[in-house]
Structure 1
Amino acid sequence: MVNKDFSSCSVLVIEDNLQSQTLIGKFLNLISINNVHYSKNGEDGILKALTVNPDLIILNLNLPNMRGDEVLMKIKATPKIRDIPVLIETSYESQDMKDLMFKAGASDYITKPFSLLEFFSRIKINLENRLLIKTLEKELKKIETELRTAKSMQTWLLPNQNDINGLKSKFGFELSHLFLPSLKLSGDFWGVHQVTHKKVAIFSCSFEEYGLTAALNTFRLNTLIKENPIIYPFKPSSYVESLNKVLHTMLPEGNNVKFIYGIIDFETDTFTYASAGFISPLLISDEKITTLGNGGEPLALSLNTRYTDYSVPFKKGTSIFIYSDTLVKSPYICGRVLGVEGLKETLSKYVNKIDKPDTVFNNIVCEFFTNIESVKSLPDDLTMLMISK
């Protein structure tokens, strides 16, 4: 009659009639439910529910001191036990009462006297639903744990601050940076490394998809960059093209990545970069803010995509601002987004008054977090990099 194994389930019976308690207990034993708890009144029933956290509560409406409907409302108002299904058992044959109980949160309703078959059917439905929900909750917690682990691993890919400080000291430049992962599992990361005794490379990437696939692709790209460093003649466009060919073969169809790779040449005082669909960086020089070029489609879309090198002077007093489009697309409290022009206006406000690039950077960060609706509303990971000389 009942094929499902409910032997691991526990049931709380809130019933003041001893004969009814005994009968319900025997019925439950017939389907291998031996973990049965009993309460004779509502107050004790609520306390016992909090203690044993049963898989099902069988509640009689006609209880002393506190009526069954009051007990039901208290159960549903108590966060720890409100999700436990409650089966109402009563001798009241009233549609109005049924409607009232279901509205109050009851999962089922059975009228005494009830047959063994009807009782088993009600128990089976409610416990199967409860077990399914518990299984889904367990799987959800497992997924959440895996996502948290993946997010932590994503931050491990970011440059070590000691390494950054070493490069800054050796080459005489400043680098302000911020990386903030969104609630979604994305695939963004950035990096900076020495190329030669006169050159430093910096890059940033943003995968278009989310979830575990994005996390896996992040590690693939990170490994690819580490194992295939840029070589002479140090053309960013050639390097981006080589990455594109590998990723086009490596990544599943439909997966692509926005990418920017630039080289700071301290001998020629230039910044040369190639972009694969990444949002245009900004050049801050002589209190002017210029949107730089942006060419090429994201990586992995086409096998033989060609990319362009852009080169700008990187003299003393110059800053390059590289950022993910999350900065200009996140919803603000006022209902709008910052946009590229809004970002340039905000930068201008501080560049004209403040000499230190890190102070300008910190002010931009503060304005952003003051104005966005919520960190939870970030549509994607946020990356902000300001390289200054």
Structure 2
Amino acid sequence: MPEGLADARILIADDDPLCRRLVAGVLRAQKFTNIEFAEGGLSTMEQVRRFRPDLLLLDMQMPDMSGLDVCREIRAQADFADAPILVQTATVDRKKMGELFAAGASDFLSKPINPSELIARVVVHLERWNSLRALRDYRERISGELEAARRMQVELLPDPITLQWAARAADLRIASYNRSSSELGGDLWGMLPISNGAFGIFLADFTGHGINAALNTFRLHALIHEYKALHDDPGGLLSMLNERLVRLLRIGQFATFMYVVVDHRAGLLKVASAAAPPAILVQGVEGRARLCDSSGFPLGIERGVRYRTSRRKFPAGSRLLLFSDGLSEFPDTKGKRIGDDGLQAALNACEPALTPQEVIDRLCAAAGIIDGSPLPDDTTIVCLDRRAAPRKGDGTRDHAAKQPSALSTFGGR
């Protein structure tokens, strides 16, 4: 007998005591020892609940409840939806067999029972049942681990108080959107408080999806915080990150990266890009959306790449959009993609009074992304503007509030 089957729980359901003893004798001769009995349909259902068999040998003809009805009731229970049920019957015809399998029978044995056939079928179905349970346990374990990893990413999100602090300190409004194409994603965005209300905001997109891409985002997250002294120098930060990632990433893995330092007091943006989709900037309430330069080499491919920092005016009333290519390359119902130019046009169509969250909603709709729709690629959008209503008071900026440490997030709110 194959290893691990001797302890299998087997329930023999038959109203004939002689048949029960004969079947049990054959099983015990093959070292099956964990056997229990039921004398009718109702007692079978009770034994299934109590004994929880790994395999049921079920007679079709019982006085109080037919074998077909027993099959149907057992299959209606989630815990036994796939457990093997071997039906014993003296009648074998196509119509009856169809009814048996439709009711949930796994296999059948013709009466009188042939001992060799009985053992062969019992062993085959127990092995299948054990394999199925092992696969189910494995899937549950992997699902649990993926869920734990996903929670780790979610726990890195800036809490609402931190977002509110950053927005109020800079007279800004901020909103974001993030969805992964699978349980774990390769998109990463974050905020890095610098000084005097200025902060950096970055968005990275690693090749691939799932676990490998997610692990690379954790690596990048650690590296970004290791080089705090470069947070006010976009080009310098990207150059250093590239040197480190070249040594860490496998061949074929790389990341696009956009980093923007927002200095609201100077009304200035400092921007560096590593082949990321272009940021879209609207300068002032009356301004038109413009694509910012997105040249540069992806991070993690070649050593010695130097990234330059460009500067953009960011006066009151301005709006800035960062996004991964999951937005611009999303195929709508007709297979069309909105592209960078289409996003630029959609942003121009957004009324000045819209909040950043409303802008994100408009852009998703323009691209064809709706809640619950499957995504072919991880998608991240960050929108901020200098259109917040002036605060009442003497112009102080929450002097009692403690500036948070550098933060990053893998998703949005």
Whose RCO is larger (CA < 8 A, sep 6+)? 2
Alignment of 1:202-217 (within 5 A): 202-217=201-216
Measured in 2, the distance between the counterparts of 1:51 and 1:206 equals 53
Shift, 1:103, TM fit = 5.7
SS in 2 for 1:176: strand
Alignment of 1:238-257 (within 5 A): 238-257=236-255
1:169 maps onto 2:168 in alignment: yes
Task: Tell me which residue corresponds to 1:292.
Answer: 292
- Identical aligned residues as a percent: 26
Task: Tell me which residue corresponds to 1:224.
Answer: 223
Alignment of 1:252-271 (within 5 A): 252-266=250-264, 268-271=266-269
Measured in 2, the distance between the counterparts of 1:60 and 1:331 equals 56
Measured in 1, the distance between the counterparts of 2:211 and 2:342 equals 33
SS in 1 for 2:273: strand
Q: Give the AA of the match of 2:81.
A: R
Task: Tell me which residue corresponds to 1:326.
Answer: 326
**CA 210–362 in structure 1, closer or farther in 2 if over 3 Å, else same:** closer
Match of 1:387 among 384, 389, 405: 384
TM-score (norm 2): 0.81
Measured in 2, the distance between the counterparts of 1:376 and 1:36 equals 50
**CA 316–97 in structure 1, closer or farther in 2 if over 3 Å, else same:** same
Shift, 1:70, TM fit = 4.3
Q: Give the AA of the match of 1:195.
A: I
Q: Contact conserved, 2:182 with 2:209, CA < 8 A, in 1?
A: no
Q: Contact conserved, 1:6 with 1:31, CA < 8 A, in 2?
A: no
Shift, 1:311, TM fit = 2.9
Task: Tell me which residue corresponds to 1:275.
Answer: 273
**CA 101–150 in structure 1, closer or farther in 2 if over 3 Å, else same:** same
**CA 43–311 in structure 1, closer or farther in 2 if over 3 Å, else same:** farther
Between 1:267-276 and 1:310-319, the stretch displaced more is: 267-276
Alignment of 1:64-213 (within 5 A): 64-94=63-93, 97-98=96-97, 101-102=100-101, 105-197=104-196, 199-213=198-212
Q: Give the AA of the match of 1:296.
A: G
**CA 362–254 in structure 1, closer or farther in 2 if over 3 Å, else same:** closer
SS in 2 for 1:377: coil
Q: Give the AA of the match of 1:265.
A: D
Measured in 1, the distance between the counterparts of 2:354 and 2:370 equals 29
Question: Could you list the per-position Cα deviations for residues 152-209 of structure 1 after superposition, in whole angstroms to 9, with x for gaps in the alignment?
Answer: 1112233343333333333333322233444431132211123344742110112222
Measured in 2, the distance between the counterparts of 1:385 and 1:244 equals 23
Measured in 1, the distance between the counterparts of 2:345 and 2:34 equals 68
**CA 205–31 in structure 1, closer or farther in 2 if over 3 Å, else same:** farther
Measured in 1, the distance between the counterparts of 2:30 and 2:363 equals 61
**CA 141–318 in structure 1, closer or farther in 2 if over 3 Å, else same:** same
Measured in 2, the distance between the counterparts of 1:63 and 1:373 equals 55
Shift, 1:41, TM fit = 3.2
- List alignment gaps of at least 5 residues for structure 2: 387-413
Q: Contact conserved, 1:183 with 1:376, CA < 8 A, in 2?
A: no
Q: Contact conserved, 1:330 with 1:377, CA < 8 A, in 2?
A: no
TM-score (norm 1): 0.85
Q: Contact conserved, 2:360 with 2:381, CA < 8 A, in 1?
A: no
Q: Give the AA of the match of 2:375.
A: L
SS in 1 for 2:80: coil
Q: Contact conserved, 2:147 with 2:183, CA < 8 A, in 1?
A: no
Q: Contact conserved, 1:12 with 1:38, CA < 8 A, in 2?
A: yes
Task: Tell me which residue corresponds to 2:25.
Answer: 26
Match of 1:377 among 374, 383, 393: 374
**CA 157–57 in structure 1, closer or farther in 2 if over 3 Å, else same:** same
SS in 1 for 2:281: strand
Shift, 1:149, TM fit = 0.7
Q: Give the AA of the match of 1:348.
A: N
Question: Could you list the per-position Cα deviations for residues 327-372 of structure 1 after superposition, in whole angstroms to 9, with x for gaps in the alignment?
Answer: 3444556765554444444433332xx4254364364378479x64
Task: Tell me which residue corresponds to 1:361.
Answer: 359
SS in 1 for 2:317: coil
Measured in 2, the distance between the counterparts of 1:46 and 1:334 equals 53
Shift, 1:143, TM fit = 0.6
Q: Contact conserved, 1:177 with 1:385, CA < 8 A, in 2?
A: yes
Q: Give the AA of the match of 2:228.
A: P
Q: Contact conserved, 2:186 with 2:206, CA < 8 A, in 1?
A: yes
Between 1:374-383 and 1:310-319, the stretch displaced more is: 374-383
Task: Tell me which residue corresponds to 1:45.
Answer: 44
1:349 maps onto 2:349 in alignment: yes
Query: How much is the aligned-residue C-alpha RMSD, in angstroms?
Result: 3.1
Q: Give the AA of the match of 1:274.
A: A
Shift, 1:145, TM fit = 0.7
Task: Tell me which residue corresponds to 2:395.
Answer: none
**CA 227–121 in structure 1, closer or farther in 2 if over 3 Å, else same:** same
Q: Contact conserved, 1:194 with 1:200, CA < 8 A, in 2?
A: yes
Q: Give the AA of the match of 1:388.
A: D
Aligned length: 384
Measured in 1, the distance between the counterparts of 2:323 and 2:350 equals 17
SS in 2 for 1:275: strand
Q: Give the AA of the match of 2:282.
A: I
**CA 362–63 in structure 1, closer or farther in 2 if over 3 Å, else same:** same
- List alignment gaps of at least 5 residues for structure 1: none
